[in-house]
């Protein structure tokens, strides 16, 4: 027995005379549809830009792992500036900045974009932990700034300058007893102020153990390690620095020295030239490039750098260029 169907299956000659009911769409529905289409069109136009910013957010850690730390954080900051209400983006930038040791950037983002935002319990706990770390960091930086301002005052003699430096070191060592201090910051500047290589090495090593991401501690410690004659340990530290930032000028310069000390003069020149191209005014960057040119027998280029420096060379540099000391003696103690 056939079942009745709900569709019109009448054959030709038997038209269905039922009239379809009229459907009147309300004006407000039409307006809503028009608005939806308009928003969809705008979204499609903006989609490439939004997608790019989302990729910047998602790929920040990957880029940092590939040695693009500064550039990745800067791009993420620009994204946060355009999406200043996005708590996930803001907290992501703060997290990554703290992880990489970019504390000044983390503090800026914290004060500029995070204050006043609603956070989940876990976000709040993480951000308060960062805040406590930043408070200790800036308190210790303020101590260093005050001591350096005093120590930078003009002195009547070299002896007075030595006394001021000794006073700064003693004061910084005293602050190490403060449980609220940022010991990594204090150890770093103790290493810079110390005039004794072994003390410098010890202080910088302590800084590295406390916080390996702080400033350029890897490069400073590598230089002290190299001066003590341990090239393999220095190379390890510099590789870590370049893994964080592949265009770290200080690390490139220091690695150039290691190459030359291992008799890879061409490799040393390539690295020294790269550092010079990135920042010719960097600390000892031009000097190291000069040494590399001399070691590779490039007299014309060497003369150009000497002219560019426009000042009398340091005594030990003159001794090396004149052949009075070897490359090893020049760069180690």
pLDDT value of residue 6: 36
Strand partners, 68: 245
pLDDT value of residue 37: 53
What is the C-alpha to C-alpha distance for residues 327 and 214, in angstroms, rounded to an integer? Answer: 30
Which domains are seen in the chain, by residue range? 33-118 (no CATH), 135-210 (no CATH), 216-333 (1.25.40.10)
What lies within 8 Å, CB to CB, of 91 at 6+ separation is: 114, 119, 123, 126, 127
Cβ–Cβ < 8 Å for 285, 253: yes
Cβ–Cβ < 8 Å for 144, 189: yes
User: What letters, b where the CB count within 10 A reaches 16 and e where it falls short, cover 227-236?
Assistant: ebeebeebbe
**Over its length of 333 residues, how does the chain's per-residue pLDDT go in tens digits?**
334 433 333 333 334 444 444 545 455 545 655 555 555 544 433 433 454 566 777 889 999 999 999 999 999 999 999 999 999 999 999 999 999 999 999 999 999 999 999 999 999 999 999 999 999 999 999 999 998 887 666 555 667 777 888 899 999 999 999 999 999 999 999 999 998 999 999 999 999 999 999 999 999 999 999 999 999 999 999 999 999 999 999 999 999 999 999 999 999 999 999 999 999 999 999 999 999 999 999 999 999 999 999 878 899 999 999 999 999 999 998
What is the C-alpha to C-alpha distance for residues 298 and 318, in angstroms, rounded to an integer? Answer: 16
What's the predicted TM-score (pTM) here? 0.82
pLDDT value of residue 271: 98
DSSP assignment letter at 11: P
For the beta carbon of residue 278, count every other beta carbon within 10 angstroms: 14
Strand partners, 245: 68
**C-alpha count within 13 angstroms, C-beta hemisphere, residue 196:** 6
What lies within 8 Å, CB to CB, of 161 at 6+ separation is: 155
pLDDT value of residue 149: 82
């Amino acid at each position: 027995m056939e079942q009745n169907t709900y569709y019109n299956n009448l054959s030709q000659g038997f038209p269905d005379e039922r009239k379809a009911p009229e459907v009147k769409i309300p004006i407000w529905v039409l307006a809503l549809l028009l608005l939806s289409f308009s928003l969809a069109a705008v979204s499609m136009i903006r989609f490439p830009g939004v997608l790019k910013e989302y990729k910047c957010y998602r790929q920040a850690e990957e880029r940092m792992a590939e040695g693009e730390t500064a550039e990745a954080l800067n791009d993420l900051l620009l994204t946060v500036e355009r999406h200043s209400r996005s708590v996930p983006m803001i907290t992501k930038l703060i997290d990554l900045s703290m992880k990489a040791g970019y504390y000044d950037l983390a503090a800026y983002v914290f004060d500029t974009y995070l204050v006043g935002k609603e956070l989940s319990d876990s976000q709040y706990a993480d951000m308060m932990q960062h805040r406590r770390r930043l408070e200790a960091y800036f308190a210790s930086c303020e101590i260093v700034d005050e001591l350096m301002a005093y120590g930078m005052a003009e002195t009547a003699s070299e002896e007075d300058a030595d006394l001021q430096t000794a006073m700064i070191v003693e004061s910084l060592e005293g602050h190490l007893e403060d449980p609220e201090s940022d010991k990594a910051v204090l150890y770093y500047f103790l290493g810079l102020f110390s005039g004794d290589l072994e003390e410098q090495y010890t202080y910088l090593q302590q800084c590295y153990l406390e916080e390996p991401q702080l400033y350029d501690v890897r490069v400073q410690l590598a230089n002290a390690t190299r001066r003590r004659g341990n090239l393999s340990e220095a190379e390890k530290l510099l590789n870590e620095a370049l893994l964080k930032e592949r265009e770290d000028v200080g690390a490139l310069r220091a690695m150039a020295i290691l190459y030359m000390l291992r008799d890879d003069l061409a490799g040393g020149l390539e690295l020294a030239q790269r550092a010079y191209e990135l920042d010719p005014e960097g600390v000892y960057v031009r000097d190291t490039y000069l040494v590399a040119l001399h070691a590779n027998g490039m007299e014309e280029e060497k003369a150009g750098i000497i002219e560019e420096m426009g000042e009398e060379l340091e005594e030990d540099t003159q001794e090396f260029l004149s052949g009075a000391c070897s490359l090893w003696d020049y760069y180690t103690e």
